[in-house]
Structure 1
Amino acid sequence: MTAYEEALSRPATLELNSGRNTTSPGHVTQRLPFIVACLLVAGHSAFAMPCHFETQGEGRVTAIVDGRSVRLDDGREVRLAGIEPTATTKQALASLLVGRDVTLRSTDDTPDRYGRQGAFVFIGESDASVQATLLAQGEAIASAEIADKDCAAALMASEAQARRQKMGNWADPLAIKNAESPDDILAGIGRFMVVEGKVLSVRQAGATTYLNFGRNWTRGFAVTISRRALPAFESAGISLKALENKRILVRGWIEGNTGPRIDVRLLGQVELLGANEPTGVRP
Structure 2
Amino acid sequence: MRGAIFAIIGSMRPSPNTKWFRRIALLAGSLFMSTAQASDKPLLEGEIGMVQSIVDGDTLFLENGLKVRLSAMQAPKLPLGRPEVKAWPLSTTAKKELEKLALGQEVQLYYGGLQRDRYDRALAQVFLLDDAGEKTIWLQEEMIRRGYGRVYTWPDTWQDSERLFAAEREARAAERGIWGRDFYKIRTPEPNNLSQDMDSFQIVEGIIVSTAKVRDKMFLNFGADYRTDFTVFVTKEGQRRFKKAELDLMSLEGARVRVRGWVEIQNGPTMILDHAERLEILD
TM-score over 0.5 for the pair: yes
Q: Larger RCO: Structure 1 or Structure 2 (Cα < 8 Å, ≥ 6 residues apart)?
A: 1
Aligned residue number for residue 66 of structure 2: 76
Aligned residue number for residue 26 of structure 1: none
Q: What are the equivalent positions in structure 2 for 1:83-122 lying under 5 Å apart?
A: 83-86=73-76, 87-88=89-90, 89-107=94-112, 110-122=115-127
Q: Match for 1:138 among 105, 123, 147?
A: 147
Aligned residue number for residue 254 of structure 2: 245
Aligned residue number for residue 220 of structure 2: 211
Going from structure 1 to structure 2, the CA distance change for 1:155 and 1:127 (only over 3 Å counts) comes to same
Residues 56 and 109, structure 1, Cα contact 8 Å, conserved in 2: no
SS in 1 for 2:100: helix
Q: Distance in 1 between matches of 2:118 and 2:96?
A: 26
Displacement of 1:52 after TM fit? Answer: 7.8
Q: Distance in 1 between matches of 2:114 and 2:277?
A: 24
Q: Distance in 1 between matches of 2:111 and 2:127?
A: 11
Percent of aligned pairs with the same residue? 28
Q: What are the equivalent positions in structure 2 for 1:1-283 lying under 5 Å apart?
A: 53-86=43-76, 87-88=89-90, 89-107=94-112, 110-125=115-130, 126-145=135-154, 151-172=160-181, 175-180=185-190, 182-274=191-283
Displacement of 1:147 after TM fit? Answer: 6.3
Residues 70 and 78, structure 1, Cα contact 8 Å, conserved in 2: yes
Q: Distance in 2 between matches of 1:139 and 1:179?
A: 24
Going from structure 1 to structure 2, the CA distance change for 1:108 and 1:170 (only over 3 Å counts) comes to same
1:90-121 deviation line (CA, Å, top 9, x unaligned): 33222222222222221468432212111111
Residues 72 and 159, structure 2, Cα contact 8 Å, conserved in 1: no
Going from structure 1 to structure 2, the CA distance change for 1:109 and 1:219 (only over 3 Å counts) comes to closer
Give the AA of the match of 1:170.
Answer: W
Displacement of 1:236 after TM fit? Answer: 3.9
Q: Distance in 2 between matches of 1:146 and 1:100?
A: 30
Q: Distance in 2 between matches of 1:85 and 1:139?
A: 6
Displacement of 1:202 after TM fit? Answer: 0.9
Residues 112 and 159, structure 2, Cα contact 8 Å, conserved in 1: no
- TM-score calculated relative to the size of structure 2: 0.70
Going from structure 1 to structure 2, the CA distance change for 1:232 and 1:218 (only over 3 Å counts) comes to same
Displacement of 1:248 after TM fit? Answer: 0.8
Which structure 1 segments of 5+ residues have no match?
1-50, 275-283
